């Protein structure tokens, strides 16, 4: 049984590589946005934790038919503030708006993880609280500089904790790696049950 990472995220590949476990990548082609909208329409009160888990599971299920003998690992990270979902920004203007909205406030980052094979499905999630520094001339300039790199455009909430966006963070309560996109400590521990070792 091989481990297949159902993601094209370089951050998730980097985190999984830390374990020393060999794996292959097979990006999922499921439409996260459409699935999230359907889930929210069916259950308007769905929690970000359940939503992240369902999205991770959908990604894993999309890849499984191509690797029926293997273990599929998929994840999805959501950023919410006061119940509002902050997805990937569509352009620089939206990224700037998101980062300004998050400034000086505490938001939630939920990462759902799915580990599935032809005979089993395991889903779990983590939740972290991230507080951004308040807006100031320095923070405003940092947001502008960060947005100009286009790095925020492929990230939920328009920031990556492991890059320039991390300078916007004042405090984090929870799993740093989960905010980065994969709670790798928990994943590593759970992989042992599938007899997957470095």
Domains and CATH numbers, the chain: 3-194 (3.90.950.10)
For the chain, the first-to-last Cα distance in angstroms comes to 13
The pLDDT value recorded for residue 62 is 96
| Residue-by-residue DSSP string for 94-144 | HHHHHHHHHTTSEEEEEEEEEEE-SS-EEEEEEEEEEEEPPP-HHHHHHHH
pTM: 0.92
76 is catalytic: yes
The residue among 189, 186, 197, 192 whose CA lies nearest residue 75 is: 186
Given the residues 70, 76, 82, 154, the one annotated as active site = 76
Per-residue pLDDT of the chain (198 residues; tens, 9 = 90+): 999 999 988 999 999 999 999 999 999 888 777 787 778 778 888 888 899 999 999 999 999 999 999 999 999 999 999 989 898 999 999 999 999 999 999 999 999 999 999 999 999 999 999 999 999 999 999 999 999 999 999 999 999 999 999 999 999 999 999 999 999 999 999 999 999 989
The span from the CA of 13 to the CA of 73, in Å, is: 11
Please, are residues 109 and 174 in contact by the beta-carbon 8 Å criterion?
yes
User: What distance in Å separates the CA atoms of residue 70 and residue 80, rounded to the nearest whole number?
Assistant: 33
pLDDT of residue 40: 76
Sign of CA dihedral 13, 18, 19, 22: positive
């Amino acid at each position: 049984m091989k481990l297949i990472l159902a993601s094209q995220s370089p951050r998730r590949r980097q985190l999984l590589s830390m374990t020393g476990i060999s794996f292959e990548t097979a990006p999922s082609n499921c439409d996260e946005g459409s699935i999230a909208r359907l889930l929210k329409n069916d259950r308007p009160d769905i929690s970000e934790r359940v939503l992240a888990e369902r999205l991770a599971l959908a990604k894993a299920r999309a890849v499984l038919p191509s690797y029926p003998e293997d273990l599929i690992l998929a994840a999805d990270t959501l950023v919410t503030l006061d119940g509002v979902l902050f997805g990937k920004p569509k352009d620089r203007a939206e990224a700037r708006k998101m980062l300004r909205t998050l400034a000086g406030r505490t938001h939630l980052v939920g990462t759902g993880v799915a580990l599935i094979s032809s005979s089993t499905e395991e889903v779990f999630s983590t939740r972290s609280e991230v507080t951004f520094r308040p807006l100031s001339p320095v923070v405003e300039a940092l947001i502008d500089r960060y947005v100009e790199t286009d790095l925020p455009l492929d990230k939920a909430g328009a920031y990556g904790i492991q890059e320039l966006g991390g300078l916007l963070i004042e405090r984090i309560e929870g799993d740093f790696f989960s905010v980065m996109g994969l709670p790798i400590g928990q994943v590593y521990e759970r992989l042992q049950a599938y007899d997957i070792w470095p």
